[in-house]
Amino acid sequence: MAMTMTLGSMLIAAAAVVGLCSVAPAASAREEPLQPQIVGGWKPIKNVNDPHVREIGRWAVSEHIKTANDGLGFGRVVSGEEQIVAGKNYRLRIQATKVGGQKAMYRAVVYEQLTNTRQLLSFDPAN
């Protein structure tokens, strides 16, 4: 009899587990589908007008000017991607103004450490 109760208890427990595992929350039509995250992968920056993203773009132009001495003026961040590493990498497309007033596009890659220390990895004309 003890064996029957143990087997019966195990069947009830197994049915409960199966029941719990098969219940999935209903997704509303407004929810975005989950996207797989690639560790260390680049993902688009959703809001390039975010003050922090604009500050990184402005900083990239000012760092470029220190070595190029070409008088470039920051305009705006047009688009960008970010990559989480031991800190964050930013790959930005920046509109800047040349000394003569002409607008031009540039690509900047900035590494920002967790301590907010930054390093300009590259700054090139975007063709």
Its pTM surpasses 0.75: no
| Under-70 pLDDT residues of the chain | 1-39
CATH topology of domain 41-125: Nuclear Transport Factor 2; Chain: A, (3.10.450)
Residue ranges of the domains in the chain? 41-125
> What's the confidence (pLDDT) of residue 9?
47
Q: Note the pLDDT of residue 6.
A: 54
Arithmetic mean of pLDDT over the chain: 80
Residue 96 buriedness (CB in 10 A; 0-12 / 13-18 / 19+): buried
